[in-house]
Amino acid sequence: MLAVTTQQKLGLATVVLLLGGWAVYIVTNLRDRRTEPLGSEMELAPNRRPYFDDEALEGPRLTGTLVGGLILMVIVAVGLPLYWFNEPSRQEGAVRGFDNRAAGRGFLLFQPSDSPIPAGNVGHFGCGGCHGTEAQGGSTVFSLPDARDPALPSRQVTWRAPALDTVLRTYSEEEVRSVLVFGRANTPMPAWGVLGGGPMNDQQINDLIAYLATIQRDPDEIRTKNFTEFGTDGPKLFDAFCARCHTQGWSYGEPAEPGGGAYGPSLAGGATVRQFPRQDQHAEFIADGAEYAKPYGTRGLGGDEGGGMPGFGAMLTEAQIKAIVAYERGL
Protein backbone atom coordinates (compact mmCIF):
# COMPACT_ATOMS: atom_id res chain seq x y z
CA MET A 1 0.00 0.00 0.00
CA LEU A 2 0.98 3.63 -0.43
CA ALA A 3 0.45 4.30 3.28
CA VAL A 4 3.42 3.87 5.58
CA THR A 5 2.51 5.15 9.04
CA THR A 6 -0.63 4.39 11.07
CA GLN A 7 -1.86 7.94 10.54
CA GLN A 8 -1.45 7.60 6.78
CA LYS A 9 -3.34 4.32 6.81
CA LEU A 10 -6.21 5.88 8.78
CA GLY A 11 -6.29 8.85 6.42
CA LEU A 12 -6.36 6.57 3.39
CA ALA A 13 -9.18 4.51 4.92
CA THR A 14 -11.19 7.70 5.57
CA VAL A 15 -10.75 8.85 1.98
CA VAL A 16 -11.84 5.44 0.68
CA LEU A 17 -14.96 5.48 2.90
CA LEU A 18 -15.90 9.00 1.78
CA LEU A 19 -15.47 8.16 -1.89
CA GLY A 20 -17.44 4.96 -1.42
CA GLY A 21 -20.24 6.84 0.35
CA TRP A 22 -20.45 9.40 -2.44
CA ALA A 23 -20.55 6.63 -5.02
CA VAL A 24 -23.41 4.86 -3.21
CA TYR A 25 -25.33 8.13 -2.86
CA ILE A 26 -24.95 8.97 -6.56
CA VAL A 27 -25.95 5.47 -7.71
CA THR A 28 -28.97 5.42 -5.38
CA ASN A 29 -30.23 8.81 -6.57
CA LEU A 30 -29.76 7.90 -10.20
CA ARG A 31 -31.75 4.70 -9.68
CA ASP A 32 -34.59 6.41 -7.79
CA ARG A 33 -35.10 9.35 -10.12
CA ARG A 34 -38.54 9.50 -11.69
CA THR A 35 -39.92 11.29 -14.71
CA GLU A 36 -42.84 13.38 -13.52
CA PRO A 37 -45.21 15.64 -15.46
CA LEU A 38 -44.26 19.28 -15.78
CA GLY A 39 -45.55 21.21 -12.76
CA SER A 40 -45.78 18.20 -10.45
CA GLU A 41 -42.87 19.59 -8.41
CA MET A 42 -45.38 21.90 -6.81
CA GLU A 43 -46.76 18.92 -4.91
CA LEU A 44 -43.70 16.65 -4.93
CA ALA A 45 -41.01 19.17 -3.84
CA PRO A 46 -39.64 18.18 -0.42
CA ASN A 47 -40.27 21.63 1.05
CA ARG A 48 -43.99 21.40 0.13
CA ARG A 49 -44.68 17.94 1.51
CA PRO A 50 -46.29 17.58 4.93
CA TYR A 51 -43.65 16.73 7.54
CA PHE A 52 -43.92 14.60 10.68
CA ASP A 53 -46.39 15.75 13.31
CA ASP A 54 -45.41 16.52 16.89
CA GLU A 55 -46.08 12.98 18.07
CA ALA A 56 -43.62 11.53 15.55
CA LEU A 57 -41.00 14.24 16.04
CA GLU A 58 -40.97 13.98 19.84
CA GLY A 59 -41.08 10.20 19.90
CA PRO A 60 -38.62 7.55 18.80
CA ARG A 61 -37.18 9.80 16.08
CA LEU A 62 -36.08 12.42 18.60
CA THR A 63 -34.75 9.73 20.92
CA GLY A 64 -32.71 8.23 18.10
CA THR A 65 -31.27 11.63 17.18
CA LEU A 66 -30.31 12.35 20.78
CA VAL A 67 -28.68 8.94 21.18
CA GLY A 68 -26.71 9.48 17.96
CA GLY A 69 -25.54 12.89 19.18
CA LEU A 70 -24.53 11.40 22.53
CA ILE A 71 -22.51 8.69 20.79
CA LEU A 72 -20.72 11.26 18.62
CA MET A 73 -20.01 13.44 21.67
CA VAL A 74 -18.49 10.45 23.53
CA ILE A 75 -16.33 9.65 20.49
CA VAL A 76 -15.04 13.23 20.41
CA ALA A 77 -14.59 13.44 24.21
CA VAL A 78 -12.64 10.18 24.35
CA GLY A 79 -10.95 10.19 20.94
CA LEU A 80 -9.33 13.62 21.11
CA PRO A 81 -7.56 13.05 24.47
CA LEU A 82 -6.38 9.66 23.21
CA TYR A 83 -5.00 11.31 20.08
CA TRP A 84 -3.30 14.05 22.11
CA PHE A 85 -1.89 11.44 24.50
CA ASN A 86 -0.26 9.67 21.54
CA GLU A 87 1.07 12.85 19.95
CA PRO A 88 4.44 13.10 21.83
CA SER A 89 5.36 9.51 20.98
CA ARG A 90 4.22 10.06 17.40
CA GLN A 91 6.52 13.07 17.11
CA GLU A 92 9.41 11.13 18.66
CA GLY A 93 8.75 8.31 16.22
CA ALA A 94 8.76 10.75 13.32
CA VAL A 95 12.13 12.18 14.40
CA ARG A 96 13.53 8.69 14.95
CA GLY A 97 12.29 7.60 11.54
CA PHE A 98 13.85 10.69 9.92
CA ASP A 99 17.21 9.97 11.59
CA ASN A 100 17.09 6.28 10.64
CA ARG A 101 16.38 7.10 7.00
CA ALA A 102 19.21 9.66 6.97
CA ALA A 103 21.61 7.11 8.49
CA GLY A 104 20.52 4.55 5.91
CA ARG A 105 21.38 6.91 3.09
CA GLY A 106 24.68 7.75 4.82
CA PHE A 107 25.51 4.04 5.01
CA LEU A 108 25.14 3.78 1.24
CA LEU A 109 27.22 6.92 0.69
CA PHE A 110 29.99 5.51 2.90
CA GLN A 111 30.37 2.23 0.99
CA PRO A 112 33.34 1.67 -1.36
CA SER A 113 32.67 2.48 -4.99
CA ASP A 114 32.92 -1.23 -5.89
CA SER A 115 30.58 -2.35 -3.09
CA PRO A 116 28.11 -5.10 -4.06
CA ILE A 117 25.44 -3.40 -1.91
CA PRO A 118 22.82 -1.81 -4.21
CA ALA A 119 23.29 1.95 -4.15
CA GLY A 120 19.77 2.85 -5.30
CA ASN A 121 19.51 6.52 -6.18
CA VAL A 122 21.96 7.47 -3.39
CA GLY A 123 25.26 6.18 -4.76
CA HIS A 124 28.52 4.98 -3.25
CA PHE A 125 31.10 7.71 -2.61
CA GLY A 126 33.85 5.35 -1.50
CA CYS A 127 34.61 6.43 2.10
CA GLY A 128 34.91 2.78 3.11
CA GLY A 129 37.59 2.25 0.49
CA CYS A 130 40.05 4.21 2.68
CA HIS A 131 38.55 4.00 6.16
CA GLY A 132 37.38 0.38 6.04
CA THR A 133 33.94 -0.92 5.17
CA GLU A 134 32.99 -0.82 8.87
CA ALA A 135 34.90 2.41 9.56
CA GLN A 136 37.53 0.43 11.45
CA GLY A 137 40.41 2.19 9.68
CA GLY A 138 42.34 1.33 6.54
CA SER A 139 44.83 2.72 4.07
CA THR A 140 45.09 4.33 0.67
CA VAL A 141 47.78 5.24 -1.85
CA PHE A 142 48.88 8.87 -1.78
CA SER A 143 51.21 10.86 -4.03
CA LEU A 144 53.66 12.57 -1.69
CA PRO A 145 55.47 15.61 -3.12
CA ASP A 146 59.11 16.24 -2.28
CA ALA A 147 59.16 18.82 0.53
CA ARG A 148 62.63 20.11 -0.46
CA ASP A 149 61.95 20.42 -4.18
CA PRO A 150 58.28 20.40 -5.27
CA ALA A 151 59.45 20.25 -8.90
CA LEU A 152 60.63 16.66 -8.40
CA PRO A 153 58.18 13.84 -9.19
CA SER A 154 55.96 12.78 -6.33
CA ARG A 155 56.39 9.33 -4.84
CA GLN A 156 53.67 6.89 -3.93
CA VAL A 157 53.19 6.00 -0.26
CA THR A 158 50.63 3.94 1.61
CA TRP A 159 48.79 6.32 3.93
CA ARG A 160 47.07 4.99 7.04
CA ALA A 161 43.48 6.26 7.14
CA PRO A 162 42.05 6.60 10.67
CA ALA A 163 39.14 4.66 12.09
CA LEU A 164 35.87 6.61 12.07
CA ASP A 165 33.93 4.51 14.58
CA THR A 166 35.35 6.77 17.31
CA VAL A 167 35.59 10.08 15.43
CA LEU A 168 32.60 11.63 17.23
CA ARG A 169 34.19 10.71 20.55
CA THR A 170 37.07 13.08 19.82
CA TYR A 171 35.49 15.70 17.54
CA SER A 172 32.13 17.48 17.57
CA GLU A 173 29.69 17.05 14.70
CA GLU A 174 30.51 20.55 13.45
CA GLU A 175 34.23 19.74 13.36
CA VAL A 176 33.57 16.49 11.48
CA ARG A 177 31.31 18.37 9.06
CA SER A 178 34.07 20.90 8.40
CA VAL A 179 36.60 18.13 7.65
CA LEU A 180 34.15 16.42 5.30
CA VAL A 181 33.29 19.64 3.47
CA PHE A 182 36.79 21.12 3.16
CA GLY A 183 39.05 18.08 3.52
CA ARG A 184 42.56 18.19 4.99
CA ALA A 185 45.35 19.77 3.02
CA ASN A 186 48.47 17.67 2.31
CA THR A 187 46.68 14.44 3.16
CA PRO A 188 44.60 11.99 1.08
CA MET A 189 41.43 13.41 2.64
CA PRO A 190 39.79 15.45 -0.15
CA ALA A 191 37.08 18.08 0.11
CA TRP A 192 33.72 16.34 -0.23
CA GLY A 193 31.33 19.24 0.28
CA VAL A 194 30.14 21.56 -2.46
CA LEU A 195 31.52 24.56 -0.54
CA GLY A 196 34.95 22.92 -0.58
CA GLY A 197 34.72 22.06 -4.27
CA GLY A 198 33.55 18.47 -3.74
CA PRO A 199 30.58 16.47 -5.06
CA MET A 200 28.40 16.20 -1.93
CA ASN A 201 25.58 18.60 -1.12
CA ASP A 202 24.61 19.57 2.43
CA GLN A 203 21.99 16.82 2.69
CA GLN A 204 24.51 14.14 1.78
CA ILE A 205 27.05 15.48 4.28
CA ASN A 206 24.36 15.43 6.99
CA ASP A 207 23.36 11.88 6.02
CA LEU A 208 26.97 10.75 6.25
CA ILE A 209 27.34 12.25 9.73
CA ALA A 210 24.04 10.65 10.77
CA TYR A 211 25.45 7.26 9.73
CA LEU A 212 28.72 7.84 11.58
CA ALA A 213 26.74 8.71 14.72
CA THR A 214 25.08 5.26 14.66
CA ILE A 215 28.37 3.32 14.60
CA GLN A 216 30.28 5.13 17.36
CA ARG A 217 31.67 2.75 19.94
CA ASP A 218 30.76 3.07 23.62
CA PRO A 219 33.26 5.25 25.57
CA ASP A 220 33.60 2.69 28.40
CA GLU A 221 34.34 -0.04 25.87
CA ILE A 222 36.91 2.19 24.16
CA ARG A 223 38.67 3.07 27.41
CA THR A 224 38.76 -0.55 28.53
CA LYS A 225 40.22 -1.73 25.22
CA ASN A 226 42.80 1.05 25.11
CA PHE A 227 43.86 0.48 28.72
CA THR A 228 44.21 -3.26 28.09
CA GLU A 229 46.29 -2.63 24.97
CA PHE A 230 48.47 0.30 26.05
CA GLY A 231 48.19 0.56 29.83
CA THR A 232 49.89 3.74 31.04
CA ASP A 233 52.91 3.47 28.75
CA GLY A 234 53.44 7.08 27.65
CA PRO A 235 55.46 6.42 24.46
CA LYS A 236 52.99 3.77 23.23
CA LEU A 237 50.01 6.00 23.99
CA PHE A 238 51.64 8.91 22.21
CA ASP A 239 52.38 6.77 19.16
CA ALA A 240 48.81 5.43 19.05
CA PHE A 241 46.88 8.67 19.58
CA CYS A 242 49.16 11.67 19.03
CA ALA A 243 51.85 10.78 16.51
CA ARG A 244 49.49 10.85 13.51
CA CYS A 245 49.39 14.66 13.77
CA HIS A 246 52.56 15.49 15.71
CA THR A 247 55.17 13.19 14.12
CA GLN A 248 56.25 13.77 10.52
CA GLY A 249 55.89 10.66 8.35
CA TRP A 250 53.94 8.58 10.86
CA SER A 251 50.90 8.26 8.58
CA TYR A 252 52.90 6.57 5.81
CA GLY A 253 55.27 4.45 7.91
CA GLU A 254 58.31 6.73 7.88
CA PRO A 255 58.20 8.41 11.30
CA ALA A 256 60.76 11.12 11.95
CA GLU A 257 61.49 12.71 15.34
CA PRO A 258 58.66 11.83 17.78
CA GLY A 259 56.59 14.94 18.39
CA GLY A 260 58.63 16.93 15.90
CA GLY A 261 55.52 18.33 14.26
CA ALA A 262 53.51 17.49 11.14
CA TYR A 263 49.85 18.43 10.70
CA GLY A 264 49.98 19.56 14.34
CA PRO A 265 52.73 21.72 15.89
CA SER A 266 56.04 20.47 17.20
CA LEU A 267 56.01 19.29 20.82
CA ALA A 268 59.77 18.82 21.04
CA GLY A 269 62.38 20.95 22.77
CA GLY A 270 60.18 21.81 25.74
CA ALA A 271 57.41 23.34 23.60
CA THR A 272 54.65 21.80 25.71
CA VAL A 273 56.17 23.06 28.95
CA ARG A 274 56.28 26.58 27.54
CA GLN A 275 52.73 26.31 26.23
CA PHE A 276 51.35 24.74 29.41
CA PRO A 277 53.28 25.85 32.51
CA ARG A 278 50.99 23.69 34.66
CA GLN A 279 50.52 19.97 34.05
CA ASP A 280 46.81 20.12 34.88
CA GLN A 281 46.31 22.62 32.01
CA HIS A 282 48.15 20.28 29.69
CA ALA A 283 46.04 17.28 30.76
CA GLU A 284 42.80 19.23 30.42
CA PHE A 285 43.72 20.27 26.88
CA ILE A 286 44.39 16.67 25.85
CA ALA A 287 41.13 15.52 27.45
CA ASP A 288 38.89 18.28 26.03
CA GLY A 289 40.68 19.32 22.85
CA ALA A 290 40.67 22.80 21.36
CA GLU A 291 37.52 24.87 21.11
CA TYR A 292 37.23 27.22 18.17
CA ALA A 293 38.43 30.76 19.02
CA LYS A 294 38.92 29.83 22.69
CA PRO A 295 42.36 30.55 24.25
CA TYR A 296 44.32 27.73 25.87
CA GLY A 297 47.66 27.54 27.65
CA THR A 298 50.10 30.37 26.96
CA ARG A 299 49.13 32.36 23.88
CA GLY A 300 47.28 29.41 22.40
CA LEU A 301 44.09 29.98 20.41
CA GLY A 302 41.79 27.35 18.95
CA GLY A 303 41.75 27.76 15.20
CA ASP A 304 40.89 25.36 12.37
CA GLU A 305 37.56 24.24 13.77
CA GLY A 306 37.59 21.39 11.30
CA GLY A 307 40.16 18.90 12.47
CA GLY A 308 42.06 20.90 15.08
CA MET A 309 43.20 19.37 18.35
CA PRO A 310 40.73 16.58 19.27
CA GLY A 311 39.74 15.68 22.81
CA PHE A 312 40.61 12.22 24.12
CA GLY A 313 38.67 12.27 27.38
CA ALA A 314 36.13 9.75 26.04
CA MET A 315 38.84 7.37 24.82
CA LEU A 316 41.55 7.39 27.49
CA THR A 317 41.55 7.16 31.27
CA GLU A 318 42.82 9.97 33.47
CA ALA A 319 45.95 7.94 34.24
CA GLN A 320 46.67 7.44 30.53
CA ILE A 321 46.29 11.15 29.81
CA LYS A 322 48.71 11.91 32.64
CA ALA A 323 51.17 9.43 31.10
CA ILE A 324 50.95 11.24 27.75
CA VAL A 325 51.47 14.57 29.52
CA ALA A 326 54.61 13.26 31.24
CA TYR A 327 55.98 11.90 27.95
CA GLU A 328 55.28 15.06 25.94
CA ARG A 329 56.83 17.30 28.60
CA GLY A 330 60.00 15.28 28.31
CA LEU A 331 60.36 15.60 24.54
**How do the pLDDT tens digits run along the chain, 331 residues long?**
455 677 788 888 899 999 999 998 888 877 666 566 666 666 666 676 677 788 878 888 888 899 999 999 999 999 899 888 888 888 898 899 999 999 999 999 999 988 889 888 888 999 999 999 999 999 999 999 887 887 888 899 999 999 999 999 999 999 999 999 999 988 999 999 999 999 999 999 999 999 999 999 999 999 999 999 999 999 999 999 999 999 999 999 999 999 999 988 999 999 999 999 999 999 999 999 988 888 888 888 877 666 689 999 999 999 999 999 999 999 9
Measuring CA to CA, how many Å separate 294 from each of 224, 238, 266, 289, 301?
A: 31, 24, 20, 11, 6
Task: Answer yes or no: do 150 and 186 share one domain.
Answer: yes
Q: How many of the other CB atoms lie within 10 Å of CB of 269?
A: 12
Confirm whether 144 is domain-assigned.
yes
Strands 295-296, 300-301: pairing kind: antiparallel
Considering the domain architecture, whether residues 235 and 299 belong to the same structural domain is answered as yes
Domain count for the chain = 2
pLDDT at 299: 82
Determine, yes or no, domain membership for 156: yes
Indicate if 194 and 237 belong to the same structural domain: no
- Compute φ and ψ for 232, nearest 5 degrees: -115, 35
**What confidence score (pLDDT) does residue 1 get?**
44
Residue ending a domain, among 183, 214, 245, is 214
191 and 247 share a domain?
no
Structural domain containing residue 226 = 219-329
CA distance 99 to 209: 11
